[in-house]
């Protein structure tokens, strides 16, 4: 599938709905995913160029259902032959109604008797997509597998597109997806339906979905503007999916917080690299380039959210990003408010990284010496020891107090960084102090 | 996160798998060798299935190298090996894993007596603006 594919938008829009409906009806995610891919292939061969059918979702669903049932039948037939057990009657009874509903006209035929298969109302479809997101973020999968599966099953991206976004060969990404599908299939007995998580499990599972979407976003955002050209803008894709998730769980405050956080971060995209492709840190960004519409959307989400919700980590990070967004310059930033927000974040989701950010905020609000004091105990923190960030932050603070040790800290940070633009930036800072 | 696992070794004669041509490993008991091989194969299979293994190559004898050095405005070519040290680069694996801990867990299975295995992070073109 290339950018010039006239039906790409249709695929991307319909894939989660079609796959979601199949998973709801037939339970097996892996087989459903295979069937959807086959239906897309059939569509690319059968739809007349430029015009698709009137109801592309119904068409794809019909074809995919037929493929799934055919695959099941041959699978069952083989099993039955091999095991020499007479289970066929039961199998056929189990699946006959769904098979019949596809209609004798066949997948490529005219409208045909569609029955229940086309009776998807939008509420059911939204539930299907939500269930797919929950399934793709299943705790049995590794984060890398969750990300790949979400982009493929809900985002409707091809394996090749996902592979190129993550700079790995298609075969490697294909392996991750195959493995993830096999893991999911292994979780339920053959043919069993995937029960949606119980009400008590739902918050945790939604948190996992949020983490996957945020991973996708960060992969896209941190890669943008550098030397790397992406043909699939992952950050925008993550925002699209989070926006969709929010319409399904409008009362889930952290999903709204996550959307606000993504929008406030993505708003800086145009300012984060200079003409040469070098990384421009927040401090030196041209704020006129920030996307005001995105900031306004995020701010209005937060204004409704923050007074009412039990505040979670994404909402707090979004609130911090909003304080940056409303400051006309780095120096005019309300650092005191950011300090308070980071202390709250450290209270509900403590981590060495949060305390490192707190040290920056304290350094700006109360002076670099105070920031260095917050930072000092973190120097023993094993989670930060091998990374470059603590040295970069310390170098900045040392530079602010005029300590010549800043140069050596910049060089240490540069040595430890594995990001080409960050390393170049840190070496340049050290050079200025030489 | 991407890492390269570099196998520094000196099999005599040069050959792969290097463990078959290294004195320290040849003198191990067959059981020991078999166990190490089995563990290595297991982690390799696991990495292939999980999509953590991106690429790997075994390299030819360092004496087959051709070295290109710039002199007086042009490349002057001589025969290898590049390094005068005892160990040479014998092969490499490019892996893409969740974190440093996983990379180290894998690399431990790549090491053996008489060889040095180096785990080195790959640089990436992105970066954070905060």
Closest chain A residue to the Cα of B120, Cα to Cα: A418
Asked if pLDDT for residue A72 goes beyond 80, the answer is no
Total Cβ atoms within 10 A of residue A267: 22
Tokens of A373: 């004091």
Segment A245-259, tens digit of pLDDT:
999 999 899 999 999
B14 located within any domain: yes
Q: What is the DSSP string of A389-428?
A: HHHHHHHHHHHHHT-THHHHHHHHHHHH--BHHHHHHHHH
Segment A132-146, tens digit of pLDDT:
899 999 999 999 999
* Any A CB within 8 A of B4 CB: no
Segment A341-390, tens digit of pLDDT:
999 999 999 999 999 999 999 999 999 999 999 999 999 998 888 889 99
Query: What pLDDT shows up at residue A287?
Result: 96
Query: What pLDDT shows up at residue A76?
Result: 63
Q: Tell me which residue has tokens 């939604």.
A: A206
How far apart CA A322 and CA A303 sit, in angstroms, is: 11
How far apart CA A383 and CA A143 sit, in angstroms, is: 19
How far apart CA A13 and CA A154 sit, in angstroms, is: 9
Q: What letter does residue A66 receive in the DSSP assignment?
A: H
Query: What pLDDT shows up at residue A101?
Result: 38
* CB contact burial B75-97 (16+ within 10 A = b; e otherwise): eeeeeeeeeeeeebbbbbbbbbb
How far, CA to CA in Å, does A6 sit from each of A1, A49, A408?
Answer: 10, 8, 55
Answer whether B89's CB lies under 8 Å from B2's CB. no
Asked if pLDDT for residue B35 goes beyond 80, the answer is yes
Q: What is the CATH number of the domain that holds B53?
A: 3.30.70.1060
Query: What pLDDT shows up at residue A97?
Result: 37
Tokens of B29: 């008991």
Asked if pLDDT for residue A131 goes beyond 90, the answer is no
B68 located within any domain: yes
Q: Which domains does chain A have, with CATH numbers?
A: 8-115 (no CATH), 334-434 (1.25.40.10)
Answer whether A118's CB lies under 8 Å from A147's CB. no
Using the beta-carbon criterion (under 8 Å), do B125 and A228 form an inter-chain contact? yes
How far apart CA A59 and CA A44 sit, in angstroms, is: 12
> Which of B49, B51, B53 is the best substitution to test chain A (most A C-beta atoms within 10 A)?
B51
Beta-bridge partner residues of B79: B66
B26 located within any domain: yes
Asked if pLDDT for residue B49 goes beyond 80, the answer is yes
Segment A8-50, tens digit of pLDDT:
778 788 888 888 888 888 877 888 888 888 888 888 778 877 7
Tokens of B5: 């696992």
Segment B66-100, tens digit of pLDDT:
999 999 999 999 998 998 888 999 999 999 998 89
Using the beta-carbon criterion (under 8 Å), do A144 and B98 form an inter-chain contact? yes
Percentage of residues in chain A having pLDDT higher than 70 = 83
Instruction: Provide the shortest C-alpha distance from residue B23 to chain A (in Å).
Output: 35
B129 located within any domain: no
Size of interface A-B (CB pairs under 8 A): 81
Segment A285-322, tens digit of pLDDT:
999 999 999 999 999 999 998 887 678 999 999 999 99
Using the beta-carbon criterion (under 8 Å), do B51 and A279 form an inter-chain contact? no
Mean pLDDT across chain A, nearest whole number? 83
B128 located within any domain: no
How far apart CA A124 and CA A132 sit, in angstroms, is: 12
Tell me the whole-structure pTM to 2 decimals: 0.80
Q: What is the DSSP string of B57-72?
A: EEPPPGGG-EEEEEET
Residues of B in contact with A186 (CB under 8 A): none
- Min mean pLDDT across A112-116, A185-189, A261-265 is at A112-116
* Closest CB from B51, B122, B128 relative to A173: B51
Strands B116-121 and B53-58: unpaired
CA–chain centroid gap for A256, Å, is: 14
Query: What pLDDT shows up at residue A89?
Result: 35
Asked if pLDDT for residue A116 goes beyond 50, the answer is no
Using the beta-carbon criterion (under 8 Å), do B128 and A419 form an inter-chain contact? yes
Percentage of residues in chain A having pLDDT higher than 90 = 47
Answer whether A346's CB lies under 8 Å from A358's CB. yes
A264, containing H or E segment: helix A253-266
Using the beta-carbon criterion (under 8 Å), do A279 and B98 form an inter-chain contact? no
B130 located within any domain: no
Closest chain A residue to the Cα of B123, Cα to Cα: A418
Total Cβ atoms within 10 A of residue A368: 21
Using the beta-carbon criterion (under 8 Å), do B128 and A143 form an inter-chain contact? no
Band of residue A431 on the pLDDT scale cut at 50, 70, 90: very high
Quick one: average pLDDT of A272-279? 80
Query: ipTM score here?
Result: 0.86
Q: What is the domain range of residue B69?
A: 2-121
Answer whether A216's CB lies under 8 Å from A234's CB. yes
Residues of B in contact with A418 (CB under 8 A): 1, 121-124
B126 located within any domain: no
B5, containing H or E segment: strand B2-9
Closest chain A residue to the Cα of B128, Cα to Cα: A222
How far apart CA A277 and CA A228 sit, in angstroms, is: 9
Closest chain B residue to the Cα of A269, Cα to Cα: B129
Quick one: average pLDDT of A397-423? 94
Residues of B in contact with A272 (CB under 8 A): 129
Beta-bridge partner residues of B70: B75
How far, CA to CA in Å, does A48 sit from each of A43, A54, A288?
Answer: 9, 12, 46
Using the beta-carbon criterion (under 8 Å), do B51 and A175 form an inter-chain contact? yes
Closest chain A residue to the Cα of B54, Cα to Cα: A172
* Closest CB from B1, B51, B96 relative to A179: B51
Band of residue A77 on the pLDDT scale cut at 50, 70, 90: low
Query: What pLDDT shows up at residue A114?
Result: 38
B81 located within any domain: yes
């Amino acid at each position: 599938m290339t950018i010039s594919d006239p039906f790409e938008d249709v695929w991307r829009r319909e894939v989660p709905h079609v796959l979601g409906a199949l998973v709801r009806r037939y339970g097996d995610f892996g087989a459903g995913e295979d069937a959807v891919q086959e239906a897309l292939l059939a569509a690319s061969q059968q739809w007349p160029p430029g015009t698709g059918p009137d109801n592309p979702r119904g068409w794809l669903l019909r074809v995919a259902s037929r493929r799934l049932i055919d695959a099941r039948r041959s699978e069952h037939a083989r099993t039955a032959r091999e095991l020499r057990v007479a289970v066929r009657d039961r199998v056929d009874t189990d699946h006959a109604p769904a098979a019949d509903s596809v209609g004798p006209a066949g997948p490529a035929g005219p409208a045909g008797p569609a029955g229940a298969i086309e009776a998807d109302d939008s509420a059911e479809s939204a539930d299907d997509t939500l269930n797919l997101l929950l399934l793709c973020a299943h705790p049995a999968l590794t984060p890398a597998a969750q990300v790949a599966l979400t982009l493929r099953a809900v985002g409707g991206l091809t394996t090749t597109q996902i592979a190129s976004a993550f700079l790995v060969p298609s075969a490697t990404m294909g392996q991750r997806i195959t493995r993830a599908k096999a893991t999911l299939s292994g979780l339920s007995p053959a043919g069993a339906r995937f029960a949606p998580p119980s009400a008590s499990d739902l918050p945790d599972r939604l948190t996992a979905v949020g983490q996957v979407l945020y991973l996708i976003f960060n992969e896209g955002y941190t890669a943008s503007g550098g030397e790397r050209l992406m043909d699939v803008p992952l950050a925008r894709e993550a925002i699209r999916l989070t926006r969709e998730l929010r319409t399904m769980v409008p009362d889930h405050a952290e999903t709204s917080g996550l959307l606000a956080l993504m929008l406030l971060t993505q708003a800086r995209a145009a300012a984060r690299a200079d003409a040469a492709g070098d990384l421009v840190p927040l401090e030196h960004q041209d704020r006129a380039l920030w996307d005001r519409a995105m900031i306004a959307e995020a701010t209005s989400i937060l204004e409704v959210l923050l007074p009412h919700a039990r505040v979670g980590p994404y909402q707090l990070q979004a609130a911090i990003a909003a304080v940056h967004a409303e400051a006309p310059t780095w120096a005019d930033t309300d650092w005191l408010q950011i300090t308070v927000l980071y202390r709250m974040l450290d209270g509900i989701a403590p981590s060495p990284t949060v305390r490192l950010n707190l040290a920056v905020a304290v350094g700006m609000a109360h002076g670099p010496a105070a920031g260095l004091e917050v930072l000092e105990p973190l120097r023993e923190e094993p989670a930060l020891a091998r990374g470059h960030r603590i040295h970069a932050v310390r170098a900045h603070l040392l530079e602010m107090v005029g300590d010549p040790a800043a140069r050596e800290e910049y060089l240490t940070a540069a040595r430890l960084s594995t990001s080409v633009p960050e390393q170049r930036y840190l070496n340049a800072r050290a050079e200025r102090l030489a | 996160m991407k890492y390269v696992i570099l196998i520094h070794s000196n099999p005599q004669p040069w050959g792969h798998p290097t463990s078959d041509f290294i004195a320290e490993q040849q003198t191990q008991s067959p059981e020991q060798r078999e166990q190490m091989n089995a563990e290595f194969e297991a982690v390799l299979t696991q990495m292939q299935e999980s999509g953590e293994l991106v690429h790997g190559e075994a390299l030819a004898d360092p004496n087959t190298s051709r070295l290109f050095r710039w002199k007086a405005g042009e490349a002057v070519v001589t025969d290898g090996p590049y390094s005068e040290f005892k160990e040479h680069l014998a092969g490499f694996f490019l892996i893409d894993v969740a974190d440093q801990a996983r990379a180290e867990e894998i690399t431990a299975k790549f090491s053996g007596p008489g060889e040095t295995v180096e785990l080195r992070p790959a640089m990436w073109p992105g970066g954070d603006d905060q």
